[in-house]
A = this chain, B = another copy of it.
Amino acid sequence: MSIVMQTRIRLARNLRKYPFPSRLNAAGKNEVVKTVIEAVKNSNSPLADDLDILYVKDLTEAQRISLVESHLASPEFISDSAGRAIILSKDRTMSIMINEEDHIRLQILKKGFDLEGAYDLADKLDTLLDENLDFAFDEKLGYLTQCPTNLGTGMRASVMLHLPALKSGKAVSRIAGNLQKLGLTIRGTYGEGTEPEGAMYQLSNQVTLGISEKAAIDNLKNITTQLVNQELNAQKRMAESLETQDKILRSIGVLKYAKLISCDEAMSLLSNIRFGISCGLIDDIDTETIDTLIGEVQPATMIVNKREELTPQQRDKLRAEIIKNTLR
Protein backbone atom coordinates (compact mmCIF):
# COMPACT_ATOMS: atom_id res chain seq x y z
CA MET A 1 0.00 0.00 0.00
CA SER A 2 1.86 3.02 -1.31
CA ILE A 3 0.15 5.48 1.06
CA VAL A 4 1.72 3.95 4.16
CA MET A 5 5.43 4.51 3.79
CA GLN A 6 6.64 3.09 7.11
CA THR A 7 5.43 1.39 10.24
CA ARG A 8 7.12 1.93 13.57
CA ILE A 9 6.71 0.42 17.02
CA ARG A 10 8.57 1.97 19.91
CA LEU A 11 8.67 0.58 23.45
CA ALA A 12 9.87 2.59 26.45
CA ARG A 13 11.52 0.58 29.26
CA ASN A 14 13.46 1.46 32.38
CA LEU A 15 15.72 -0.48 34.69
CA ARG A 16 14.35 -0.90 38.19
CA LYS A 17 17.77 -0.43 39.74
CA TYR A 18 18.49 3.06 38.37
CA PRO A 19 16.81 6.43 38.56
CA PHE A 20 15.50 7.80 35.25
CA PRO A 21 18.30 9.18 33.00
CA SER A 22 17.52 12.80 33.87
CA ARG A 23 18.38 11.93 37.48
CA LEU A 24 21.59 10.10 36.60
CA ASN A 25 25.08 11.55 36.45
CA ALA A 26 27.49 10.56 33.67
CA ALA A 27 28.86 7.57 35.61
CA GLY A 28 25.35 6.31 36.27
CA LYS A 29 24.40 6.66 32.64
CA ASN A 30 27.52 4.83 31.52
CA GLU A 31 26.60 2.02 33.86
CA VAL A 32 23.14 1.78 32.27
CA VAL A 33 24.69 1.75 28.79
CA LYS A 34 27.06 -1.04 29.84
CA THR A 35 24.28 -3.03 31.46
CA VAL A 36 21.99 -2.86 28.44
CA ILE A 37 24.74 -3.68 25.96
CA GLU A 38 25.81 -6.70 28.00
CA ALA A 39 22.22 -7.89 28.26
CA VAL A 40 22.00 -7.83 24.48
CA LYS A 41 25.40 -9.48 23.99
CA ASN A 42 24.69 -12.23 26.48
CA SER A 43 21.41 -13.08 24.84
CA ASN A 44 21.11 -16.32 22.89
CA SER A 45 18.48 -14.83 20.57
CA PRO A 46 19.41 -14.68 16.86
CA LEU A 47 18.11 -11.11 17.01
CA ALA A 48 21.27 -10.19 18.88
CA ASP A 49 23.49 -11.02 15.92
CA ASP A 50 24.76 -8.32 13.62
CA LEU A 51 24.18 -5.45 15.98
CA ASP A 52 26.22 -2.26 15.86
CA ILE A 53 26.81 -0.21 18.98
CA LEU A 54 27.24 3.51 18.42
CA TYR A 55 28.26 5.83 21.26
CA VAL A 56 26.85 9.29 20.62
CA LYS A 57 30.12 10.88 21.76
CA ASP A 58 31.97 9.05 18.96
CA LEU A 59 29.69 10.32 16.21
CA THR A 60 30.21 13.40 14.05
CA GLU A 61 27.44 15.96 14.04
CA ALA A 62 26.38 14.81 10.58
CA GLN A 63 26.22 11.19 11.74
CA ARG A 64 24.05 12.20 14.67
CA ILE A 65 21.65 14.25 12.59
CA SER A 66 21.54 11.52 9.98
CA LEU A 67 20.19 9.15 12.66
CA VAL A 68 17.36 11.61 13.25
CA GLU A 69 16.73 11.98 9.53
CA SER A 70 16.49 8.19 9.32
CA HIS A 71 13.98 8.09 12.20
CA LEU A 72 16.39 6.05 14.31
CA ALA A 73 17.07 8.63 17.00
CA SER A 74 15.21 11.60 18.40
CA PRO A 75 16.55 15.16 18.24
CA GLU A 76 16.53 15.12 22.03
CA PHE A 77 18.72 11.98 22.08
CA ILE A 78 21.52 13.42 19.94
CA SER A 79 21.42 16.82 21.68
CA ASP A 80 23.60 15.43 24.47
CA SER A 81 26.36 12.88 24.05
CA ALA A 82 27.23 11.99 27.65
CA GLY A 83 26.34 8.40 28.55
CA ARG A 84 24.25 7.81 25.48
CA ALA A 85 24.48 4.99 22.98
CA ILE A 86 22.35 3.45 20.28
CA ILE A 87 22.25 -0.20 19.24
CA LEU A 88 21.38 -0.75 15.61
CA SER A 89 20.72 -3.86 13.56
CA LYS A 90 22.59 -3.92 10.25
CA ASP A 91 19.40 -3.37 8.26
CA ARG A 92 18.35 -0.71 10.78
CA THR A 93 15.01 -2.37 11.37
CA MET A 94 15.85 -2.64 15.08
CA SER A 95 17.26 0.16 17.16
CA ILE A 96 17.69 0.73 20.87
CA MET A 97 18.35 4.23 22.19
CA ILE A 98 19.97 4.02 25.62
CA ASN A 99 19.43 6.93 28.00
CA GLU A 100 17.12 9.05 25.96
CA GLU A 101 14.18 10.10 28.16
CA ASP A 102 13.97 6.51 29.40
CA HIS A 103 16.80 4.04 29.89
CA ILE A 104 15.63 2.07 26.90
CA ARG A 105 13.70 3.09 23.85
CA LEU A 106 13.56 0.15 21.49
CA GLN A 107 12.18 0.64 18.03
CA ILE A 108 11.15 -1.49 15.08
CA LEU A 109 10.95 0.35 11.78
CA LYS A 110 9.52 -1.46 8.78
CA LYS A 111 8.76 -0.33 5.27
CA GLY A 112 5.10 -0.22 4.29
CA PHE A 113 2.10 -1.04 6.47
CA ASP A 114 2.87 -3.87 8.89
CA LEU A 115 1.81 -3.07 12.43
CA GLU A 116 1.48 -6.72 13.53
CA GLY A 117 4.83 -7.68 12.02
CA ALA A 118 6.52 -4.71 13.63
CA TYR A 119 4.89 -5.40 16.98
CA ASP A 120 5.89 -9.08 16.86
CA LEU A 121 9.49 -8.11 16.32
CA ALA A 122 9.36 -5.43 19.01
CA ASP A 123 7.93 -7.98 21.39
CA LYS A 124 10.77 -10.40 20.61
CA LEU A 125 13.38 -7.71 21.17
CA ASP A 126 11.64 -6.74 24.39
CA THR A 127 11.69 -10.37 25.55
CA LEU A 128 15.38 -10.65 24.70
CA LEU A 129 16.14 -7.61 26.87
CA ASP A 130 13.81 -8.78 29.60
CA GLU A 131 15.79 -12.04 29.95
CA ASN A 132 18.80 -10.29 31.39
CA LEU A 133 17.37 -7.03 32.64
CA ASP A 134 15.02 -6.17 35.48
CA PHE A 135 12.45 -3.69 34.12
CA ALA A 136 10.67 -1.17 36.31
CA PHE A 137 7.11 -2.52 36.23
CA ASP A 138 4.12 -1.86 38.40
CA GLU A 139 1.09 -4.18 38.59
CA LYS A 140 -1.27 -1.23 38.28
CA LEU A 141 0.67 1.30 36.19
CA GLY A 142 2.44 -1.17 33.90
CA TYR A 143 5.86 -0.16 32.63
CA LEU A 144 7.15 2.85 34.51
CA THR A 145 8.39 5.69 32.34
CA GLN A 146 9.74 9.13 33.01
CA CYS A 147 6.86 10.82 31.24
CA PRO A 148 3.44 9.76 32.57
CA THR A 149 2.01 9.79 29.02
CA ASN A 150 4.03 6.63 28.34
CA LEU A 151 3.00 4.72 31.47
CA GLY A 152 1.31 1.38 30.89
CA THR A 153 2.38 -0.29 27.66
CA GLY A 154 5.16 2.21 27.04
CA MET A 155 4.28 1.67 23.41
CA ARG A 156 4.06 4.20 20.65
CA ALA A 157 2.84 2.65 17.38
CA SER A 158 2.94 4.85 14.33
CA VAL A 159 2.64 4.87 10.57
CA MET A 160 4.17 7.36 8.19
CA LEU A 161 1.51 8.36 5.71
CA HIS A 162 1.85 10.13 2.40
CA LEU A 163 -1.28 12.25 2.05
CA PRO A 164 -0.78 14.67 -0.85
CA ALA A 165 -4.42 14.78 -1.90
CA LEU A 166 -5.81 15.22 1.62
CA LYS A 167 -3.15 17.82 2.31
CA SER A 168 -3.94 19.78 -0.83
CA GLY A 169 -7.64 19.73 0.05
CA LYS A 170 -6.76 21.05 3.53
CA ALA A 171 -8.42 17.91 4.91
CA VAL A 172 -5.56 16.87 7.19
CA SER A 173 -6.07 19.69 9.67
CA ARG A 174 -9.80 18.95 9.71
CA ILE A 175 -9.11 15.27 10.34
CA ALA A 176 -6.54 15.99 13.05
CA GLY A 177 -9.21 17.12 15.52
CA ASN A 178 -11.23 13.95 15.11
CA LEU A 179 -8.19 11.76 15.47
CA GLN A 180 -7.46 13.20 18.89
CA LYS A 181 -10.86 12.00 20.10
CA LEU A 182 -9.92 8.53 18.88
CA GLY A 183 -6.71 8.51 20.92
CA LEU A 184 -4.48 9.21 17.94
CA THR A 185 -2.33 12.12 16.88
CA ILE A 186 -1.11 13.22 13.45
CA ARG A 187 1.80 15.53 12.70
CA GLY A 188 4.13 16.40 9.83
CA THR A 189 7.13 14.14 9.45
CA TYR A 190 9.37 16.66 7.72
CA GLY A 191 9.10 20.29 8.70
CA GLU A 192 7.04 21.67 11.53
CA GLY A 193 3.53 23.01 11.17
CA THR A 194 0.34 21.61 9.75
CA GLU A 195 1.42 21.79 6.12
CA PRO A 196 4.67 19.86 6.00
CA GLU A 197 6.84 19.69 2.89
CA GLY A 198 6.28 16.45 1.07
CA ALA A 199 2.84 15.77 2.57
CA MET A 200 4.31 13.10 4.87
CA TYR A 201 2.58 12.62 8.18
CA GLN A 202 3.15 10.54 11.28
CA LEU A 203 -0.01 9.02 12.73
CA SER A 204 0.42 7.44 16.16
CA ASN A 205 -1.42 6.22 19.23
CA GLN A 206 -1.48 8.54 22.22
CA VAL A 207 -3.01 6.34 24.91
CA THR A 208 -0.77 3.83 26.67
CA LEU A 209 -2.58 3.36 29.96
CA GLY A 210 -5.62 1.12 30.36
CA ILE A 211 -5.38 -0.25 26.85
CA SER A 212 -3.55 -3.35 25.62
CA GLU A 213 -0.91 -3.22 22.93
CA LYS A 214 -3.19 -5.22 20.66
CA ALA A 215 -6.13 -2.87 21.15
CA ALA A 216 -3.96 0.17 20.49
CA ILE A 217 -2.57 -1.39 17.32
CA ASP A 218 -6.01 -2.45 16.09
CA ASN A 219 -7.28 1.07 16.64
CA LEU A 220 -4.37 2.59 14.73
CA LYS A 221 -4.75 0.01 11.98
CA ASN A 222 -8.45 0.71 11.50
CA ILE A 223 -8.04 4.46 11.39
CA THR A 224 -5.06 4.14 9.07
CA THR A 225 -7.07 2.01 6.67
CA GLN A 226 -9.84 4.61 6.65
CA LEU A 227 -7.39 7.45 6.04
CA VAL A 228 -5.73 5.51 3.25
CA ASN A 229 -9.06 5.00 1.52
CA GLN A 230 -9.93 8.67 1.90
CA GLU A 231 -6.57 9.61 0.42
CA LEU A 232 -6.92 7.18 -2.50
CA ASN A 233 -10.38 8.51 -3.32
CA ALA A 234 -9.18 12.09 -3.14
CA GLN A 235 -6.21 11.18 -5.35
CA LYS A 236 -8.50 9.59 -7.93
CA ARG A 237 -10.58 12.75 -8.10
CA MET A 238 -7.56 15.05 -8.28
CA ALA A 239 -5.76 12.96 -10.89
CA GLU A 240 -8.46 13.81 -13.42
CA SER A 241 -7.63 17.50 -13.38
CA LEU A 242 -5.11 18.90 -15.81
CA GLU A 243 -3.71 21.09 -13.04
CA THR A 244 -2.76 18.00 -11.01
CA GLN A 245 -1.28 16.26 -14.04
CA ASP A 246 0.65 19.42 -14.83
CA LYS A 247 2.00 19.71 -11.29
CA ILE A 248 3.15 16.08 -11.29
CA LEU A 249 4.72 16.15 -14.75
CA ARG A 250 6.52 19.44 -14.04
CA SER A 251 7.98 17.88 -10.93
CA ILE A 252 9.59 15.19 -13.07
CA GLY A 253 10.92 17.86 -15.40
CA VAL A 254 12.49 19.87 -12.61
CA LEU A 255 13.93 16.82 -10.83
CA LYS A 256 15.47 15.55 -14.08
CA TYR A 257 16.95 18.91 -15.10
CA ALA A 258 17.66 21.06 -12.05
CA LYS A 259 21.27 21.73 -11.08
CA LEU A 260 20.49 22.78 -7.50
CA ILE A 261 17.67 21.46 -5.32
CA SER A 262 17.03 22.35 -1.69
CA CYS A 263 15.85 19.65 0.69
CA ASP A 264 12.43 21.26 1.08
CA GLU A 265 11.93 21.46 -2.65
CA ALA A 266 13.13 17.88 -3.12
CA MET A 267 10.61 16.66 -0.53
CA SER A 268 7.86 18.56 -2.24
CA LEU A 269 8.72 17.40 -5.77
CA LEU A 270 9.37 13.79 -4.77
CA SER A 271 6.04 13.85 -2.99
CA ASN A 272 4.42 14.94 -6.27
CA ILE A 273 6.10 12.05 -8.09
CA ARG A 274 4.95 9.64 -5.40
CA PHE A 275 1.42 10.98 -5.85
CA GLY A 276 1.77 10.49 -9.62
CA ILE A 277 2.82 6.87 -9.16
CA SER A 278 0.05 6.24 -6.65
CA CYS A 279 -2.70 7.58 -8.91
CA GLY A 280 -1.35 5.88 -12.02
CA LEU A 281 -0.08 8.93 -13.88
CA ILE A 282 3.52 7.71 -13.69
CA ASP A 283 4.39 4.10 -14.42
CA ASP A 284 8.12 4.09 -15.13
CA ILE A 285 9.26 4.96 -11.60
CA ASP A 286 8.37 2.98 -8.48
CA THR A 287 7.48 4.15 -5.01
CA GLU A 288 10.40 2.37 -3.39
CA THR A 289 12.86 4.28 -5.55
CA ILE A 290 11.28 7.54 -4.43
CA ASP A 291 11.24 6.53 -0.76
CA THR A 292 14.90 5.57 -0.90
CA LEU A 293 15.67 8.93 -2.51
CA ILE A 294 13.74 10.78 0.20
CA GLY A 295 16.09 9.22 2.74
CA GLU A 296 19.25 9.72 0.68
CA VAL A 297 18.78 13.41 0.00
CA GLN A 298 18.42 14.50 3.63
CA PRO A 299 21.22 17.00 4.38
CA ALA A 300 23.17 15.14 7.04
CA THR A 301 22.67 11.74 5.44
CA MET A 302 24.21 13.10 2.23
CA ILE A 303 27.27 14.28 4.16
CA VAL A 304 27.61 10.91 5.90
CA ASN A 305 27.32 8.96 2.64
CA LYS A 306 29.69 11.30 0.82
CA ARG A 307 32.17 11.13 3.75
CA GLU A 308 33.05 14.80 3.46
CA GLU A 309 31.79 18.17 4.63
CA LEU A 310 29.54 19.96 2.17
CA THR A 311 28.49 23.60 1.98
CA PRO A 312 24.75 24.22 1.58
CA GLN A 313 25.25 24.87 -2.14
CA GLN A 314 27.36 21.73 -2.57
CA ARG A 315 24.58 19.81 -0.87
CA ASP A 316 21.95 21.28 -3.20
CA LYS A 317 24.13 20.35 -6.17
CA LEU A 318 24.82 16.83 -4.94
CA ARG A 319 21.13 16.38 -4.16
CA ALA A 320 20.21 17.37 -7.72
CA GLU A 321 22.81 14.91 -9.07
CA ILE A 322 21.65 12.02 -6.90
CA ILE A 323 18.05 12.57 -7.96
CA LYS A 324 18.92 13.03 -11.63
CA ASN A 325 21.01 9.86 -11.70
CA THR A 326 18.32 7.85 -9.99
CA LEU A 327 15.48 9.04 -12.21
CA ARG A 328 17.48 8.74 -15.43
Q: CB within 8 Å of B: which residues of A?
A: 242-243, 245-246, 249-250, 252-260, 313, 317, 320
Whether B260 contacts A243 by the Cβ 8 Å rule is: yes
Question: Which residues from chain B contact A243 at a C-beta distance below 8 Å?
Answer: 260
* Smallest CB separation, A238 vs chain B (Å): 14
A316 vs B289: C-alpha distance when bound (angstroms): 32
Min CB distance A191 to B, Å, is: 22
Residue contact B242 to A253, C-beta cutoff 8 Å: no
Interface of A is mostly: helix
Contact at A317–B242, with CB atoms within 8 Å? yes
Of A245, A246, A320, the most chain B CB neighbours within 10 A belong to A246
Contact between chains at A250 and B242 (CB < 8 Å): no
Q: Give Cα distance in the complex from A313 to B242, angstroms.
A: 9
Provide a sorted-by-A list of 15 A–B residue pairs whose CB atoms are within 8 angstroms: A242-B259, A245-B259, A246-B258, A246-B259, A246-B260, A249-B257, A249-B259, A250-B254, A250-B257, A250-B258, A253-B253, A253-B256, A253-B258, A254-B254, A254-B257
Number of copies: 2
Q: Beyond A252-B253, A253-B257: 6 further Cβ-contacts under 8 Å?
A: A242-B259, A245-B259, A246-B258, A249-B259, A250-B259, A253-B253
- Cβ contacts under 8 Å, A242 to chain B: 259-260, 313, 317
A258 to B242, CA, bound (A): 10
Q: Which 4 A-B pairs have the closest CB atoms?
A: A253-B257, A253-B253, A246-B259, A246-B260
* Chain B residues within 8 Å of A257, by CB: 249-250, 252-254, 256
A188 CA to B263 CA, complexed, in Å:
36
Residue of B249, B252, B258, B313 touching A249 (CB-CB under 8 A): B258
Determine the distance from Cα of A320 to Cα of B243 in the docked complex, in whole angstroms. Answer: 12
Minimum distance in angstroms from A272 CB to a CB of chain B: 11
CA distance A46 to B164 in the complex (A): 65
Least distance between A112 CB and chain B CB atoms (Å): 29
Provide the bound-state CA to CA distance between A260 and B249, in Å.
Answer: 10
**Residues of the B chain whose Cβ atoms lie less than 8 Å from the Cβ of A254:** 250, 253-254, 257
**Which residues of chain B are near A259, meaning CB under 8 Å?**
242, 245-246, 249-250
- A255–B257 alpha-carbon span in the complex (Å): 11
A317 CA / B245 CA spacing, docked (Å): 11
Q: How far is the CA of A258 from the CA of B252 in the complex (A)?
A: 9
Given the complex of chains A and B, what is the CA–CA distance between A242 and B252 in angstroms?
20
Residue of B nearest to A252 (CB): B257
Interface centre among A253, A255, A258 (most CB of B within 10 A): A253
Q: Which residue of B lies closest to A258 (CB)?
A: B250
**Contacting residues, chain B, for A250 (C-beta < 8 A):** 253-254, 257-259
The residue in chain B whose Cβ has the minimal distance to the Cβ of A248 is B259
